[in-house]
Amino acid sequence: MDRRQFLKATGAASATMGSIGLGFFGYEAGRDPESYTGWETHEGAQQTFNRKRYARDYPHYKKVGPTSRADARTDVIFYRRGDFMRSWKDNTGIEGLPEHLQEYYRKHPDVLNQDLYLMKEIFPKQRADYRKYRDKFILASAWSNAMGAVSPTRINQPPEKSDFPSRRRFGDSSEPLKMKSAKKTSKLIKKIAHELGSTLVGIAKLNPDWVYLYPMRGRGFEPDKPLEVPKHWQYAIVVGTPMSWDPMYANPNYGTSNDAYSRSRIIAFRLASFIKQLGYAARPHTPGTDYDLMVPPIAVDAGLGEQGRHGIVITPELGCNIRPAVITTNLPLIPDKPIDIGIQSFCKTCKICAENCPSGAIPTGDRIEVRGYFRYQIDTAKCHTFWSSKLGNMGCRICVAVCPYTRKSNWLHKAALKVSVNDPTGISHSVLTGLQKRFYPGPDPQKYYIPSLGGENASYRPPPWWLRAEDFIEF
């Protein structure tokens, strides 16, 4: 046996032993409800303080006299001071104010003094210093404003209008800020994306092949004109968050994409707002349907993962439980590199998604050429027809739930990933697929259908307790 054969044989042996060990320990640990290995439910993880021994029959505030309600016009300081500053005139004084303010200030002359002091003494000084020192706080302000940005339901304007900032929040022009380097900016953008709540983030140079030839409705383009890829769509930042795990495992009925969709949507709008405040163009492309481009290949280009047999991007951290959004921009960035974590090899032998897909939409064969690229292609018509052949929430997502990569990030999942990613032989892929089929079996796919189509309204896993209607509602 030469050195190469020896290495291959020992690699195969350790991959096999590693996989079997994982299967054994994973099965044992999974029987313990405290282990959090991903196949038991786990409730209330965030709220850890036991309030029971501190409970009282009354709240700490006490009613000590006649009660009354607050007047928003005077008791909410932003409203009162706003009205006050708009209507105050030195020559008329308190008499020139609206009646409710006159009444208020007569009762509270000390507050009138404070409000006048703010307007006449403090504001002018702040404005003068603002010009001198504002640059120091540019990023803090951009971040804060981004956090406050609300996503409109639709963009409704073409990129040359909607993508560019009308004026920077700080500064007197809309000129882009001079960034020190693309490398530093990329680091900053990723940190901001995480601060905004994104679980994963990656950057790609935008390949125009991923932009739709004709636009989606309601995105500000003329619907019957080919979409010309705007020059300022140079980079694509991909952000993404997972769907809530326990309902996701209870697909096709109890899971929803809307939880992660809305989170990723808000993050994308906020990140676009942040970039615009630096003076650069930015356009969010967000789930459910507000995209001008195809997201999965961009997520692959951005190094978030590989596209699996089911057509969804599989990431090392979340498997395919990720709902991404994209921000196109001309902010100079350094793109990430695509990754190879062995998913193409794994999908060749696995096929679990195809076997569990109730509509037969996922191919069992090899990848094919689609618009010049080699990839798996699912039958979207069959998939979508199934969505109306079941009850519960819209969509299906069984392929997400059954994929062996879609497991909570715990020690077992991390160890299995380490074995499969580092196995040059592919042996662990077969072993892990076998263990997955053995320990995570799903119902017969026909059972997912509604009873009038021969099914049983089945779900891959039982719903979490908080979605069991029968336990809370009298029928």
Binding site residues, ligand SF4, CB under 6 A? 308-310, 346-347, 350-353, 357-359, 361-362, 378, 383, 386, 396-399, 402-405
List the structure tokens of 345.
């090899």
Q: What angle do CA 23, 306, 317 make, to 5 degrees?
A: 55
**Maximum CA extent, the chain:** 102
Shortest Cβ distance from residue 405 to ligand SF4 (Å)?
6
What are phi and psi for residue 377, nearest 5 degrees? Answer: -125, 120
Please measure the distance between the N-terminal and C-terminal CA atoms of the chain and give it in whole angstroms. 71
Instruction: State the Cα–Cα distance between residues 177 and 161, nearest whole angstrom.
Output: 19
Shortest Cβ distance from residue 350 to ligand SF4 (Å)?
3
Q: Give 345 or 425: the residue with its C-beta nearer to ligand SF4.
A: 345
What type of residue sits at position 225?
A: K
Q: CB within 8 A of 328, min separation 6: which ones?
A: 163, 206, 230, 232, 233, 234, 235, 236, 282, 283, 285, 292, 293
Q: Give 175 or 355: the residue with its C-beta nearer to ligand SF4.
A: 355
Q: Give 112 or 398: the residue with its C-beta nearer to ligand SF4.
A: 398
Shortest Cβ distance from residue 360 to ligand SF4 (Å)?
8
Shortest Cβ distance from residue 357 to ligand SF4 (Å)?
3
Cite the beta strand spans of 193-273 per DSSP E. Answer: 200-205, 235-241
Q: CB within 8 A of 433, min separation 6: which ones?
A: 346, 349, 350, 352, 404
Shortest Cβ distance from residue 390 to ligand SF4 (Å)?
9
Shortest Cβ distance from residue 154 to ligand SF4 (Å)?
26
Q: Give 253 or 359: the residue with its C-beta nearer to ligand SF4.
A: 359
What are phi and psi for residue 282, nearest 5 degrees? Answer: -155, 135
Q: Give 279 or 297: the residue with its C-beta nearer to ligand SF4.
A: 297
Q: Give 159 or 404: the residue with its C-beta nearer to ligand SF4.
A: 404
Shortest Cβ distance from residue 50 to ligand SF4 (Å)?
40
Shortest Cβ distance from residue 442 to ligand SF4 (Å)?
10
Total Cβ atoms within 10 A of residue 136 = 8
Mapped onto helix, strand or coil, the DSSP state of residue 120 is helix
Residue pair 320/406 in contact by the 8 Å Cβ criterion: yes
**C-alpha pair distances (Å), 240 with each of 209, 267, 324:** 22, 8, 4
Q: CB within 8 A of 85, min separation 6: which ones?
A: 119
Shortest Cβ distance from residue 3 to ligand SF4 (Å)?
32
Of 106, 100, 98, 102, nearest to 71 by C-alpha is 100
Q: Give 8 or 437: the residue with its C-beta nearer to ligand SF4.
A: 437
Shortest Cβ distance from residue 402 to ligand SF4 (Å)?
6
Q: Give 279 or 395: the residue with its C-beta nearer to ligand SF4.
A: 395
Q: Give 229 or 383: the residue with its C-beta nearer to ligand SF4.
A: 383
Q: Give 197 or 338: the residue with its C-beta nearer to ligand SF4.
A: 338
Rounded to 10 degrees, the C-alpha dihedral 454/472/248/457 comes to 0
